[in-house]
């Protein structure tokens, strides 16, 4: 479907939701989280987009696409017996989830050598002697080639500053996660990734890499949280054109947030220049192109279309839903 996304849609983006339920709330890079009671919280997914550890601005329809696609994937985790935090989706922008304590690390599973940031596998391949998170990648690889087997590469989750790659040994040495929990974290991550690759392949897509977040309930149960296999947390390539692009040395045709990163870099942002702010390079043209990418991925993955007339961002409606929870 050719989605008609126009400049008018740039004016209706959900940048931030204002809702005071008298309890703890947290404004993250993309999600605003509100505690409802001791067992539940509501997560509002905004249209904000982050890259290079900065908020770049907003993308039309992104919040609803992200929230609904995450819910679609969470339900698929039930098929492979991986527990998650999702309870319900009472509004296109809202997910009601279980309260958990997030682990202080994120888990990234990578199947290809690629990327543009300093934490990417391609950066590590070029600059860190082919080593990432204590894992040495094979010699003689070129950018965007598949690895012999998917690798698990954790990163830290700092409140301030950039994520940093960290090895399993360092996680255990620093006591960030217990050995028992970490073994389950890796097992869940690899199980989800294999399932995600299989589902994506049926839709003509390659799940290249992805980020998982997990947390512990008060009872100590490990749950998958945040989002799963969305274009914000995952990299997708179009399978039909991948080999041709690889042979010609071109970047694969992508349907994910990497498109935003690449366009911002092409617009002049230097990732190694600390004096530059990437949001200064985030043009309206990039925002509209990214909106179409998000919508296209949702349709391609779920085999369903989205009626944009039902995806306006009325903040008042969102607040009413939150008040009723």
Label residue 192 by pLDDT band (50, 70, 90).
very high
**pLDDT at residue 219 in the model:** 94
- 23-49, pLDDT tens digit by residue? 878 888 899 999 999 999 999 999 999
DSSP string, 114-171: --SSTTSHHHHHHHTTTEETTEEPPTT--TTPEEEEEEEEEEE--SSS---B--HHHH
Report the half-sphere exposure of 166 (CA within 13 A, side-chain side). Answer: 22
Helix (H) or strand (E) segment spanning residue 191:
helix 179-202
Average the pLDDT over 272-289 and give the result.
92
Q: Is the pLDDT of residue 310 over 80?
A: no
**pLDDT at residue 162 in the model:** 67
- 96-120, pLDDT tens digit by residue? 999 999 999 999 999 999 987 888 9
pTM above 0.75, yes or no: yes
Q: What is the mean pLDDT of the chain?
A: 91
* Residue 150: closest CA among 187, 205, 180: 187
Please check whether the domain covering 102-248 is classified as CATH 3.30.2350.10: no
In this structure, are residues 311 and 61 in contact, taking their beta carbons and an 8 Å threshold?
A: yes
Question: So where are the chain's domains?
Answer: 102-248
Q: Is the pLDDT of residue 11 over 80?
A: yes
**pLDDT at residue 123 in the model:** 93
Average the pLDDT over 257-282 and give the result.
89
**pLDDT at residue 49 in the model:** 93
**pLDDT at residue 85 in the model:** 98
């Amino acid at each position: 479907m050719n989605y008609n996304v126009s400049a008018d849609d740039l004016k209706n983006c959900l940048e931030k939701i204002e809702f005071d339920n008298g309890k703890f709330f947290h404004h993250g890079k993309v999600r605003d989280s509100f505690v409802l009671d001791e067992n539940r919280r509501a997560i509002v997914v905004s249209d904000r987009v982050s890259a290079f550890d900065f908020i770049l601005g907003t993308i039309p329809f992104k919040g609803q696409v992200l929230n609904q696609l995450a819910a679609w994937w969470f339900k698929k985790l039930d098929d492979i017996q991986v527990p998650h935090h999702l309870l319900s989706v009472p509004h296109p922008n809202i997910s009601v989830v279980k309260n958990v304590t997030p682990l202080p690390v994120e888990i990234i599973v990578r199947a290809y050598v690629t990327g543009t940031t300093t934490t990417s596998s391609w950066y590590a391949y070029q600059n860190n002697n082919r080593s990432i998170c204590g894992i040495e990648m094979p010699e003689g690889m070129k950018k965007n080639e598949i690895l012999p087997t998917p690798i698990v590469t954790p990163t830290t989750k700092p409140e301030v500053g950039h994520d940093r790659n960290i090895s399993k040994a360092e996680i255990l040495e620093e006591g960030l996660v217990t050995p028992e929990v970490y073994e389950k974290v890796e097992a869940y991550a690899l199980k989800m990734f294999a399932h995600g690759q299989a589902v994506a392949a049926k839709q003509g897509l390659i799940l290249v890499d992805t980020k998982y977040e997990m947390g512990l309930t008060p009872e100590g149960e490990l749950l998958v949280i945040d989002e799963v296999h969305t274009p914000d947390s995952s990299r997708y390539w179009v399978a039909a054109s991948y080999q041709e692009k690889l042979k010609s040395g071109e970047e694969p045709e992508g349907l994910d947030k990497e498109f935003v990163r690449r366009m911002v870099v092409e617009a002049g942002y230097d990732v190694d220049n600390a004096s530059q702010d990437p949001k200064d390079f985030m043009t309206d043209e990039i925002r509209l192109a990214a909106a179409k990418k998000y919508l296209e991925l949702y349709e391609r993955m779920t085999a369903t279309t989205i009626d944009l007339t039902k995806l306006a961002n009325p903040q008042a409606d969102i607040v009413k839903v939150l008040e009723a929870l």
